[in-house]
Amino acid sequence: MTDAENVTEPADAATPSEPTKLPKIRLIAKPAVTPDAPVDSMWELIGGRDTFEKLVREFYVGVATDEVLLPMYPEQPDLEGAIQRLTGFLEQYWGGPNTYSQERGHPRLRMRHMPFKVNPDARDRWLHHMRNALDTLELPPLYDAEIWAYLDRAAHAMVNTFEE
């Protein structure tokens, strides 16, 4: 008898006649979208314009007291224009009306932020104020995580210098 013939399988190992039992997974698929079928967007799911405007207004409460970010807003102390632009951009991005693009064209975020010194400190301050604002919405964790992931990626993409 060779060594290979002396090998015994553990008692609980699956044999070819006994397939391994896997946990049952229930998949829930959204029905196919037809042109007349409603499509849920994040914008709709979390409350539409009111929710996005609340997020942005809370964000600018923090910006208004931030000595690094506030100087980036030439229209200060009135930040209403900035509030409306960011609200419009975010609601369009998340499936709401495309008013932002109708009024301002393609977002071109990096180009629009290029005149400002957006270094890691400015990015981190922006994220700090946005995180605080997002927390005030008390969204379900999945929605919160999805929005936060986008905001974090966008903030990192806006960094255009590493100078202090």
CB contact set of 36 (below 8 Å; sequence gap of 6+): none
Domain 42-158 falls under CATH 3.40.50.720 = no
Query: Is 15 exposed, middle or buried, given 0-12, 13-18 or 19+ CB atoms closer than 10 A?
Result: exposed
Residue 119 has pLDDT above 80, yes or no: yes
CB contact set of 135 (below 8 Å; sequence gap of 6+): none
Q: What token pair was written down for 42?
A: 């994040």
Residue 21 has pLDDT above 70, yes or no: no
Query: Bigger pLDDT: 123 or 24?
Result: 123
Domain coordinates in residue numbering, the chain: 42-158
Q: What token pair was written down for 125?
A: 């301050």
Quick one: pLDDT at residue 31?
40
